[in-house]
Amino acid sequence: MNLFIRLIKTLIMWFSLAVILILIILLPRNTESYRDGNDDVMSYQFTWDSYKDNVIEYISNVWSNKSIGITNYNQTFETELIRYGTRTLFVFVPALLLSIVFGIYKGVFDYRHRTGLWRVIGQGGTWVTQSVPDFFLILLIQLLLSMLHRWGLPQIDLYGDEHWYNFILPALFLSMYPAALIARYTTEYLENEEYADYIKTAEAKGVPEKSILWNHVLRNCWTKLIQHFLPITLTLVSSMFVVEYMTMYNGMGTRLIKAIQIKDSIIPGQSLPIDIPVVIGFSLIFMFIFMIVQLISQILLHVLSPVRGEGLVDEER
């Protein structure tokens, strides 16, 4: 029952956030300009009437078109979702899986090699990957690939989205920082467990070290690691905008940037439009992903409540 209540609260929270987000996006953006001597002055004045008109007009369009909206390219949002969402899916899912799997294995490696040169390679590499900004690593790898091409490496079109394999490089870039985070968390939680009584008992009974680590100690760390899955997903999505832009991969991130229409400067009298259906639609998709991840995390936390040391004593019987 407690799990059911938590899931309902999560659904209500994300639904409320979605409504608030839509209301923010529908805020009036009309500006007025006038001449003050030799200066052009631009002003913005919020009115509830114009805000109400925006909300009513949007709801009416959604109802009449049976769609989230018609984009600036005169296409339904669902058409663009299939186009851009599919591309992002091919990047996001492999990056998420790679972050989790490689991050956990890297964390175990760092835990088992905490002295000498291996410590520098293991924990040092994790620290560097976690500390250096994503865009700098991307630029560094781009420079390295360029140098390798000059030295005879066959040229491969790794950027853009024209070829089926173009998702590989963005997925690798996207997974680096989250994998480093998971590796650090895994190492920390394993270190916290290493002096537990159940481990000493298992070692005294001759249970193999590898079995203790992978089958039991790591299992007791699962609930702590699962608590970080939502922040890891948030990190993946936030990094996706930079990765897609710098690799010229036209997915949901780059499309959303274009829809927001970020400007370096504003001219008096110039409108401040955004592609409302795209901004609302893709924002809701991202929020839906966050909600699903949080729901799954809550279910897993409920199911995987560890019994410390369970099975260790009986393993050698």
| CATH code of the domain covering residue 163 | 1.10.3720.10
E strands, the chain, in order: 32-36, 39-43
Q: Look at residue 14 and tell me if it is in a domain.
A: no
Hey, is 150 helix, strand or coil? helix
From residue 42, how far is each of 30, 260, 289 by CA, in Å? 10, 20, 39
Split into its structural domains, the chain has a count of 1
Q: Look at residue 147 and tell me if it is in a domain.
A: yes
Structural domain including 174 reads: 72-262+272-315
Given a contact cutoff of 8 angstroms between Cβ atoms, the answer to whether 315 and 207 are in contact is yes
Q: Look at residue 94 and tell me if it is in a domain.
A: yes
pLDDT band, residue 266 (cuts 50/70/90): low
Q: Look at residue 311 and tell me if it is in a domain.
A: yes
Q: Look at residue 212 and tell me if it is in a domain.
A: yes
Q: Look at residue 46 and tell me if it is in a domain.
A: no
- Residue, of 295 and 213, whose pLDDT is higher: 295
- Residue, of 271 and 104, whose pLDDT is higher: 104
The whole-angstrom separation of Cα 29 and Cα 15 is 25
Q: Look at residue 84 and tell me if it is in a domain.
A: yes
Each residue's pLDDT tens digit, 224-257: 899 899 999 999 999 999 899 888 899 999 999 8
Query: Which whole number is the average pLDDT over 309-315?
Result: 44
- Residue, of 196 and 95, whose pLDDT is higher: 95
pLDDT for 313:
41
Cα 177 → chain centroid: 11
Hey, is 32 helix, strand or coil? strand
Q: Look at residue 67 and tell me if it is in a domain.
A: no
**pTM exceeds cut of 0.85:** no
Average pLDDT score, the chain: 84
